[in-house]
Structure 1
């Protein structure tokens, strides 16, 4: 008789998942042996946890079910108990960072799975247009493979995609029963973006057939039986997606909240059953600061009001350069373009900020809308993927020019990094649904659609945020300068507040680095002797289409871009909580952003839908930034002349992503050692 022995971890998982719905508080869990070194105990807990989760679910796309959420919670509880049995005080300051991070992760996950409808206690559900896993997973399932052997293995990936899609279908169906579903306005957008992304040529879900078409083009390399098997797997996957989309269009949409328009109110997470508790959990896992929704909302509104004073200073300089009534082409809501006179001063001689915002959104400030035809550049081939190659090439010229300038300046504040990045345009079929920019895999993805991109005066701040010293630098630094014994678990964690807080901090750091000019006694840029893109020797009659009179005005408007983006993050605190805690409509959010910033209409539209869809994520930017700035001020005050930028940034970056409450402890301990 053959006896099959289970590994200890597998046995533990089976036991725990069987007990997941049980209330037996006396269940015994083996704890780390106390005669081991605490650092080794901790790493053992991390490694065993990763193995346990893999044992629980090793599918390509993950199993999205209530049962899986409950099982994961049981594993989380088990390993939190194991961790907390370790003597934290005996760990080094470095290891305390890892201990606290793992502890935070487990606690936030356990909380999420303890709320009703546990399938919502993760980043994947409900899927929306902004993080469309249907699109992303379908691209993996349908992808071409390198060899026949690869296709033999990949057929299982397609089957797992089908199972994942069918599970997702079931989850949305359950959402009808327990009244936890997306509003009509987001459901429609999810359906539209999915259909557009998965269509290839005339095939509605052709993205899933890319590999199959490759097989059929090389039919002589495959057995007929395998081709038939692969065809069935692809057909099953296509039917599963088609069935899900048809379901969302009819059964799911019927009875969902609202009429499907931007004017619909009460579409936020807070309006779901138990929604306010759910929303606070979303805020906590995104901001990692523990601040309640109403406190974040008030903070946002206060910061929005404060930011306008500095915007007025920039507007006053523009009036000095161009007068109070500059003229420029303006696009009306109906699409017509006419010459408009902008009255930048009101009847009392004060700056009219809303009029100034309009001026900065005139046609001359947008690539592809300024009348220029740019072609034949070094970026022509790259820009074939964009909807407007001319706008794309013009933008890439400017962004790549500033890339060189930024790299030179950044070197004075950080240890050098070797890994480079590339600026690539967002593909045409994603421009309407993606944001203005993103970063991943050493690529700064730039939306160059004339109606959905940022204005020319945003080049500096967007590149600082997404690339260097923002997201790219942050990612490359933690890889190139890792601590000596960094656990594998820590290398895979990701926190929005840390990542986006850092990127927003690097926008502010642009001021410190002199990107917009030397600073005055109050730390504000003077717009002279700048280290950024606005050089004294540029031909300002042609640079960016002749939109600046000189280097000073160029620096002032690039600085305004930094102010405007900072204001965006201020507004996010108010808008995210407005939609999800106060019942705002998307239209209300758009009007709030329009009245308090110079964001373009396309940017405002995409951002407002994003906040409705990507719950709580928008608050993470400013939340993380404020913690980093607070720690910077503390370090500079306590260290005085011993403070070094490169050393401070090294402590922030080398450990990778951390909850912000862990960042505070890390910097405080670092200060004591200096």
Structure 2
């Protein structure tokens, strides 16, 4: 008689998860043999941990339940114990980075699973419009496959999607019982974004049926029974989503938190049961610096006030070029009516009126697709078929690609050569209202070209520096092209928003150092002359970007203002995220704060405010990560002096991939010592 034998790891996981709910906290762990090389011990722990997690949950979309959270916590504790039994001091500086990263991961995960409602210790719950896993997982389930054999295997993926959706339904139902549900305002946006994303043609759940349609179009290659089986699996998936959406629109939203209006102050995580503890955990996971909510809030408000001085300097130059009372077409945010308006850029005392200046920089001339220009027939025409506004898309891609080519030559002086290129593509029309102004993934810089949701023309430089080169694209390409010799598989899969976004914000600042906006003065601020960016002396400024600049100096100043405005956005995020989730701000309060302290457009402010409400704690990561990188740069330049090398410093920051910021500090400090 044949018996099935379980591997030791599988047996260990079964034992641990069976005991996960017991009160006895004693854990018996087989410790690594001390005669084994510590570096090899550490890699064995990493490998065994990954295998243990895969054994625990090998489903396509993951099981998100309180029970699974407890089981994962048991595994995390087991492997944290194993790691901490290894002699860290015997590891190389490089291996200490891996050790510390794994240790941070396990500790933050254990903390999350120890809080009430541990299902919230997972990025997948609660799903919101900003991270809509219903849409993303449906895309996977409904995807067209290459061969009949692939479709046979894919049946299981569709069934697992149905099970995942049904489980999600039950998790939201549990939220009603334990009073831990989304506010009305976010529930409504989740429903809207889901319904828009899944519709194909006249089929409200057509996204799930793309594979089925492909099978039916090649029906001669398939048995009728298989087609019927595939159709049933697809129908079951569509019904599961339909039931979930119907539930969210009725039972779930009825009695949910708040009123659903923009002045609703009951939308943050701080208003949930144990919400303040949960929010601090979200902050710690996202910022990886351990700063409390109120400290981050005060830091944000201080930085917001400091940034205004440079904005005033730019405004003074514009007044010098154009006068104090320019006129331009202005769109009223309430009525949508466009009319000519005079702007008083100086107050009665002759000082810059920043709010008027902010408004002036949001007049129609500064937006692609709202400037009255009709651009067509460019090399980007086919790409722009995916966008909602063909002309706005083509004109934006022309400008962004122009700066891409200019920036590449400048950036190369600060980094090792990067072979992998990226493309700039428009966000599809059905996602423009939900995806924000830009993002990066798979060597693509995704640009929102919708005239009502995109950034102004004076933001071209800073957005490209952030999303592409040397921002997120360099993070991705560098870790692939210049990996350490023995980087563990586990480390290749970690992701920290403070590291990723802190780096991208740092590269926006690096634009100043690279002379993108002009030579720097003694205070390290751009002079707007002899720039290396897009504002060339020989350009025809009566036509460039629709003729919005008087000359190269003003072009550099306004592109620099874009950098200031984006830096200000990250300053405000510290205040707004903590405002919503720790202080009880409404969407309206968040929008008013951003409007008063920046020149962000109405569409940008709208999408950003809902994003902070939905993507809890993530907004603080940008500035948190940036400040650590800048601190480490200053330390390296100060201690190394003439030995400091930009390419070597960036090499140390990038080649190991994502790390918690406290690990970045240790890594750079060890690197500095090695250079001396």
TM-score (norm 1): 1.00
Task: Provide the C-alpha distance between the structure 1 equivalents of 2:630 and 2:212, rounded to a whole number of angstroms.
Answer: 52
1:511-568 residue CA offsets vs partner (Å, 9 max, x unmatched): 0000000000000000000000000000000000000000000000000000000000
1:183-235 residue CA offsets vs partner (Å, 9 max, x unmatched): 00000000000000001111111100000011111111100110110011001
Superposed counterparts of 1:563-574, under 5 Å: 563-574=564-575
Paired residue for 2:136?
A: 136
1:2-34 residue CA offsets vs partner (Å, 9 max, x unmatched): 221101111111011001011223331111111
Paired residue for 1:423?
A: 424
**1:464 counterpart = 2:465:** yes
Task: Provide the C-alpha distance between the structure 1 equivalents of 2:287 and 2:27, rounded to a whole number of angstroms.
Answer: 34
Task: Provide the C-alpha distance between the structure 1 equivalents of 2:3 and 2:138, rounded to a whole number of angstroms.
Answer: 40
Paired residue for 2:191?
A: 191
Paired residue for 1:414?
A: 415
Structure 1 segments of 4+ aligned residues over 3 angstroms from their partners? none
Aligned residues: 674
Paired residue for 2:633?
A: 632
1:472-531 residue CA offsets vs partner (Å, 9 max, x unmatched): 011100111011100000000000000000000000000000000000000000000000
Task: Please state whether the residue corresponding to 2:263 is helix, strand or coil.
Answer: coil
Superposed counterparts of 1:444-593, under 5 Å: 444-593=445-594
The gaps in structure 1 that reach 5 residues or longer are none
Task: Provide the C-alpha distance between the structure 2 equivalents of 1:384 and 1:349, rounded to a whole number of angstroms.
Answer: 48
Check whether the contact 2:141–2:158 (CA below 8 A) recurs between aligned residues. Answer: yes
Q: What is the CA distance between 1:88 and its match in structure 2?
A: 0.3
Task: Provide the C-alpha distance between the structure 1 equivalents of 2:91 and 2:512, rounded to a whole number of angstroms.
Answer: 38
Task: Provide the C-alpha distance between the structure 2 equivalents of 1:218 and 1:656, rounded to a whole number of angstroms.
Answer: 44
Task: Please state whether the residue corresponding to 2:541 is helix, strand or coil.
Answer: coil
Q: What is the CA distance between 1:258 and its match in structure 2?
A: 1.1
Task: Provide the C-alpha distance between the structure 2 equivalents of 1:13 and 1:275, rounded to a whole number of angstroms.
Answer: 31
Q: What is the CA distance between 1:374 and its match in structure 2?
A: 0.4
**1:92 counterpart = 2:92:** yes
1:159-180 residue CA offsets vs partner (Å, 9 max, x unmatched): 0000000010000000000000
Task: Provide the C-alpha distance between the structure 2 equivalents of 1:124 and 1:623, rounded to a whole number of angstroms.
Answer: 23
**1:48 counterpart = 2:56:** no
Paired residue for 2:329?
A: 329
Paired residue for 1:276?
A: 276
Task: Provide the C-alpha distance between the structure 2 equivalents of 1:115 and 1:239, rounded to a whole number of angstroms.
Answer: 33
Paired residue for 1:256?
A: 256
Task: Provide the C-alpha distance between the structure 2 equivalents of 1:467 and 1:635, rounded to a whole number of angstroms.
Answer: 25
Paired residue for 1:109?
A: 109
Check whether the contact 2:27–2:78 (CA below 8 A) recurs between aligned residues. Answer: no
**1:266 counterpart = 2:266:** yes
Task: Provide the C-alpha distance between the structure 1 equivalents of 2:59 and 2:114, rounded to a whole number of angstroms.
Answer: 24
Superposed counterparts of 1:645-660, under 5 Å: 645-660=646-661
Q: What is the CA distance between 1:78 and its match in structure 2?
A: 0.5
Q: What is the CA distance between 1:671 and its match in structure 2?
A: 0.3
Task: Provide the C-alpha distance between the structure 2 equivalents of 1:115 and 1:322, rounded to a whole number of angstroms.
Answer: 58
Task: Please state whether the residue corresponding to 2:425 is helix, strand or coil.
Answer: strand
Paired residue for 2:387?
A: 386
Task: Provide the C-alpha distance between the structure 2 equivalents of 1:221 and 1:3, rounded to a whole number of angstroms.
Answer: 39
Task: Provide the C-alpha distance between the structure 2 equivalents of 1:440 and 1:30, rounded to a whole number of angstroms.
Answer: 41
Task: Please state whether the residue corresponding to 2:452 is helix, strand or coil.
Answer: coil
Task: Provide the C-alpha distance between the structure 2 equivalents of 1:235 and 1:227, rounded to a whole number of angstroms.
Answer: 12
Task: Provide the C-alpha distance between the structure 2 equivalents of 1:28 and 1:655, rounded to a whole number of angstroms.
Answer: 33
Task: Provide the C-alpha distance between the structure 2 equivalents of 1:103 and 1:27, rounded to a whole number of angstroms.
Answer: 18
Task: Provide the C-alpha distance between the structure 1 equivalents of 2:261 and 2:153, rounded to a whole number of angstroms.
Answer: 44
Paired residue for 2:247?
A: 247
Task: Please state whether the residue corresponding to 1:451 is helix, strand or coil.
Answer: coil
Task: Provide the C-alpha distance between the structure 2 equivalents of 1:12 and 1:35, rounded to a whole number of angstroms.
Answer: 23
RMSD over aligned Cα, in angstroms? 0.5
- The farther-off stretch of 327-336 and 238-247 is 327-336
Task: Please state whether the residue corresponding to 2:584 is helix, strand or coil.
Answer: coil
1:66-119 residue CA offsets vs partner (Å, 9 max, x unmatched): 111111111101000000000001000000000000000000000001100011
Task: Please state whether the residue corresponding to 2:68 is helix, strand or coil.
Answer: helix
Superposed counterparts of 1:120-159, under 5 Å: 120-159=120-159
Task: Please state whether the residue corresponding to 1:330 is helix, strand or coil.
Answer: strand
Task: Provide the C-alpha distance between the structure 1 equivalents of 2:669 and 2:378, rounded to a whole number of angstroms.
Answer: 50
Paired residue for 2:231?
A: 231
Task: Provide the C-alpha distance between the structure 1 equivalents of 2:312 and 2:119, rounded to a whole number of angstroms.
Answer: 47
Task: Please state whether the residue corresponding to 1:339 is helix, strand or coil.
Answer: strand
Task: Please state whether the residue corresponding to 1:411 is helix, strand or coil.
Answer: helix
**1:615 counterpart = 2:610:** no
Task: Provide the C-alpha distance between the structure 2 equivalents of 1:145 and 1:4, rounded to a whole number of angstroms.
Answer: 33
Paired residue for 2:178?
A: 178
Q: What is the CA distance between 1:427 and its match in structure 2?
A: 0.1
Q: What is the CA distance between 1:358 and its match in structure 2?
A: 0.3
Task: Please state whether the residue corresponding to 1:36 is helix, strand or coil.
Answer: coil
1:220-257 residue CA offsets vs partner (Å, 9 max, x unmatched): 11001101100110010000000000000000001111
1:380-416 residue CA offsets vs partner (Å, 9 max, x unmatched): 0000000001000000000000001111000000001
Check whether the contact 2:470–2:507 (CA below 8 A) recurs between aligned residues. Answer: yes
Task: Provide the C-alpha distance between the structure 2 equivalents of 1:497 and 1:203, rounded to a whole number of angstroms.
Answer: 40
Task: Provide the C-alpha distance between the structure 2 equivalents of 1:434 and 1:84, rounded to a whole number of angstroms.
Answer: 41
Paired residue for 1:62?
A: 62
Paired residue for 1:297?
A: 297
Task: Provide the C-alpha distance between the structure 2 equivalents of 1:222 and 1:61, rounded to a whole number of angstroms.
Answer: 27
Task: Provide the C-alpha distance between the structure 2 equivalents of 1:540 and 1:31, rounded to a whole number of angstroms.
Answer: 70
Task: Provide the C-alpha distance between the structure 2 equivalents of 1:40 and 1:345, rounded to a whole number of angstroms.
Answer: 67
Task: Please state whether the residue corresponding to 2:339 is helix, strand or coil.
Answer: strand
Paired residue for 2:73?
A: 73
Paired residue for 2:663?
A: 662
Task: Provide the C-alpha distance between the structure 2 equivalents of 1:460 and 1:10, rounded to a whole number of angstroms.
Answer: 52
Task: Please state whether the residue corresponding to 1:646 is helix, strand or coil.
Answer: helix
Check whether the contact 2:516–2:531 (CA below 8 A) recurs between aligned residues. Answer: yes
Q: What is the CA distance between 1:261 and its match in structure 2?
A: 1.1
Task: Provide the C-alpha distance between the structure 2 equivalents of 1:10 and 1:635, rounded to a whole number of angstroms.
Answer: 46
